[in-house]
Amino acid sequence: MIHTDSLKELCSVHSVVGDTLGAIEYAKKRLKKMNIPSTVTPYGLFVFGNLKNPHKMITAHIDEIGFQVLKKNDDGTFMISQSGHAYPSMLVNSHVYVQTKKGKVSGFIYPRKELGDYHAETFLDIFLDVMNPESVAVGDYGSYERIFMENDDRIIATGLDNKISIQMIFELIEKYPKLLKENMFAFVTEEETTYDCIAGLSRLYPTEYAFVLDMIPVNHVASAKLEIYPEMGKGPAVLYSMHKYHLHPRLKKQLDTMKQDYQKIFVSIDFAPEPQLTQQNGVTKGLNIMIPMNGWHSSGYTMYKKDYEGMKSFVKTLIETIT
């Protein structure tokens, strides 16, 4: 079963794109307790496992969207800008925090009065107000205030994109340490900005396969597009095509022989997905495995626990059987 105590702790860790050092330190400490060495590449990617001759690479992004403080206004409020794929319409009227030298400072993001609640189009249309403005400095980063709720069936929490995949990797290697002998693992730190960290990683470590773990939002499917999205409660999903990416024929052939159930995804979004970028080195074959969730770059996500367990089992089987 999922270790919700450690997942809650992980979800609370500050890891906004552009400011992920705290999350990396947390990961180091957690691996150290398992006697697993790790390293950080020159571009800030966190890697561990077999780094000499790995056959497969298993990755997840550790960063989340947020904002950065740009300027203190005359009235004590703050001007902010995006970090990652965050937009004013997502952040407006949100309970947030700012990570300062003295710890987290709680606050709220408001629209300018004359705009009302629903017309925030630029970051000039919103502003940040906090409880302790004297503690906040220009350059500080922040994100949504953390929530974590659970029952026997589901979890609703902030930060599940993509702390859930980080948690899954931790649980897999803790229970099956032999996975570290032939495979490498990586926590990507800029997925929410450029989508190129994984490409650089596959050039540094040209493994034969790269399994990219993530979530996929299922509550905002565009009816005008020819897309097939997964459903919550029916297990993990595998990306078959998106943009110019198509699942590698060798991977497709082997997936077709697997006995474990999974959902097939066909997405028409026009930015390059991480599996496509891994394949640009001409060696690595990329595969995206995802958990269906409600929520997209928002203050909360909903996940079924059985989807998590199904994906964890599916990933373990993939690592052990794909040749």
Q: What is the CATH number of the domain that holds 314?
A: 3.40.630.10
Residues 267 and 211 in one domain: yes
Same domain as 235, residue 293: yes
For the whole model, what pTM was predicted? 0.95
Structural domain contains residue 301: yes
Question: Do both 179 and 316 map to the same domain?
Answer: yes
pLDDT score recorded for residue 222: 57
CA dist 143 and 82 (Å) reads 10
pLDDT at 117 over 80: no
- If asked whether residues 49 and 81 sit together in one domain, one would say no
Q: Give me the torsion for CA of 215, 66, 41, 163, rounded to 10°.
A: -30
Q: Report the CATH number at residue 133.
A: 2.40.30.40
When pLDDT is averaged across residues 200-211 and rounded to a whole number, the result is: 93
- For residue 50, give every residue at least 6 positions away whose Cβ sits within 8 Å of its Cβ, in sequence order, or none: 180, 181, 182, 183, 184
308 neighbors 316 (Cβ within 8 angstroms):
no
Reported as half-sphere exposure (CB side, CA atoms, 13 A), residue 174 has a value of 15
Looking at the fold, whether 102 and 241 belong to one and the same domain comes out as no
**Residue 32, Cα to own-chain centre: how many angstroms?**
22
158 token code pair: 């902030």
Q: What is the pLDDT of residues 37-93, one digit of tens each?
A: 999 998 889 999 999 999 999 999 999 999 999 999 999 999 999 999 999 999 999
Please check whether residues 212 and 98 belong to one and the same domain: no
**Residue 214 and residue 83 share a domain:** no
Q: Look at residues 144, 179, 213 and tell me which one is the last residue of a structural domain.
A: 144
Asked whether residue 92 falls in the same domain as residue 180, the answer is no
**Segments forming the whole domain that contains residue 221:** 4-64+159-321
Residue 215 and residue 96 in one domain: no
Same domain, 139 and 206: no
Tell me if residue 180 falls in helix, strand or coil.
helix
Assign 193 a pLDDT band (cuts: 50, 70, 90). confident
Q: How many domains does the chain have?
A: 2
Instruction: State whether 117 and 259 are in the same domain.
Output: no
Please report, to the nearest 10 degrees, the dihedral formed by the alpha carbons of residues 17, 272, 217, 192 taken in order. Answer: 0
Statement to judge: residues 297 and 175 lie in one domain: yes
pLDDT at 224: 60
pLDDT at 221: 60
Residue 200 pLDDT exceeds 90 = no
Inform me whether the pLDDT recorded for 223 exceeds 80.
Answer: no
- Judge whether 149 lies within some domain: no
Q: What does the pLDDT average to over 160-175?
A: 97
Residue linked to tokens 């001409």: 282
Is the pLDDT score of 275 beyond 80? yes
CA 27 vs CA 4, 55, 141, 147, 254: distances in Å: 16, 23, 20, 21, 32
pLDDT value of residue 19: 96
